[in-house]
Copies of this chain bind each other. A is one copy, B any other.
Amino acid sequence: MSVDFREDGAAALEWAARYLERLPELPVLAQVKPGELSAQLPASAPEQPESFGDVLRDMDDLLLPALTNWQSPRFFSYFAVTSSEPAILAEMLAAALNQVAIVWRASPASTELELRVADWVRQLLGLPDGWHGHIEDTASTSTLAALIAARHVTGRNAVVCSEHAHSSVEKDARMLGMELRKVPVDEELRMRVDGYDLSGAACVVATVGTTSFASVDPVRELAERAHAVGAWLHVDAAYAGSSWICEEERWSADGVELADSLVVNPHKWMLVPTDCSLIWTARPDEWREAFTLTPEYLRTDDEAFSLADFGPPLGRRFRSLKLWAVLRCYGAEGLRAILREHIRLARLFAGWVEESDEWELVAPQRFSLVVFRRKGTDEENEELETRVNASGEIFITHTKLDGRYVLRLAVGNARTTEDDVRRAWDVLNWEATR
């Protein structure tokens, strides 16, 4: 093996630095066809070692055209995210340390730092004292864990959520063999509180910031109804929860203090790369009972700290290191400034839509998401989306509302400026009229 860690490391670092610099010039959505990269990759692994320089060369020649650039300042799809510089470096350090925190003593550092940064974020979001937080890979897994805990605690098998809840709720319920009941929304796209039966419900899932519309379910009322029948209340604030670091955004946290569990993803809107999903529970003892086994060959006297006892996987990598680096290198004030700017930019874009005769908002503007459409047919909007994405200038996605094809623009990358949002508006108008 011919890798020189310092020399090849410097080359890798320079590759990453240049990539981050080149982002404004790269097409946002990968402009390749399915199978195009595969056709260029060797059919088999090499028998003899190659150099790390060969790997970097192929990153330029083969991988770069097949990247969708989530780090681009003009990435406005799904929810836009950022892998910030301190987090990138922290991921390298985490890989060098290769901590595998299966039990406390296998990594006191990873275990205790994870508990601490989860508590730092709990405080920043204004969540209750005493909640137990840890990190899972994704909100899919965090919600899976919540459903497992809810079934364990209640002995019941049904999950109730809004028709606009994230697809992972449906998938999680299916994987667990639980029954899913979807509830309609009101005119503000909020999960309805009345008119359906909660009997047999293990868990009610309330969403703060739905994926399609960033709508906010009435958490307080749902929590009260759920608890009245002995069900668990899980809050999915994977995207919008980060906004609670800003006091003025806490309107959407109303009632969250009544939740039995809550998921917020720092890899969505807290400048940390995938994967970093924070899950808290107000009922840590019952939660832990749903997951702990502690076989003999893993038994130590430090079990109180072992985070594998709080979630599905046994193996746990050192994910807290990147979150710790971000919280320290930005500071709470630095993070607030970035999120406030994203929210300002989304409102600015929404204002342009409202002022225009050719466009319309189709859902209340919330957080850093704008849901809108060109006045005209569904086909026209779909073709418009295809054209703007094919231009490489911006990348947006769509959703459906009452059967209508509608467009989404999500601001959320730390490199995005007002110029980028204005460019998005220009590209949309240009492609709509040419």
Contacts and interface: CB of A to CB of B under 8 A. Distances in A.
Interface of A: 1-3, 5-6, 8-10, 12-17, 19-20, 29-30, 32, 34-38, 41, 43-52, 54-55, 59, 63, 66-68, 70-71, 77-78, 81-100, 102, 104-109, 112-113, 115-117, 119-121, 123-124, 137-141, 144, 148, 151, 167-168, 170-172, 174-177, 211-212, 267, 273-275, 277, 290-291, 293, 295-298, 301-302, 304-305, 312-317, 322, 324-325, 327-334, 397-400, 408
Contacts of A14: 6
Q: 8 closest Cβ contacts across the A-B interface?
A: A83-B98, A92-B92, A91-B95, A138-B315, A66-B109, A16-B96, A45-B120, A140-B313
A123 B328 contact: no
A327 B305 CA distance: 36
Contact of A59 (B47, B54, B93, B105): B93
Contact of A121 (B45, B88, B314): B45
Classify the secondary structure of A's interface with B.
Answer: helix
Given A98-B273, A112-B37, A52 B13 contact: no
A186 to B, nearest CB: 20
B70 A325 contact: no
Contacts of A316: 274
A117 B314 CA distance: 24
A100 B70 contact: yes
A171 to B, nearest CB: 5
A311 to B, nearest CB: 9
Contacts of A296: 399-400
Given A13-B13, A44-B120, A331-B50, A85 B399 contact: no
A393 to B, nearest CB: 16
Nearest to A323: B45
A170 B9 contact: no
Contacts of A95: 83, 87-88, 91-92, 273, 322
A168 to B, nearest CB: 5
Contact of A105 (B5, B30, B327): B30
A327 B49 CA distance: 8
Contacts of A46: 327-328, 331-332
Nearest to A32: B108
Contacts of A47: 331-333
B297 A400 contact: yes
A55 B88 contact: no
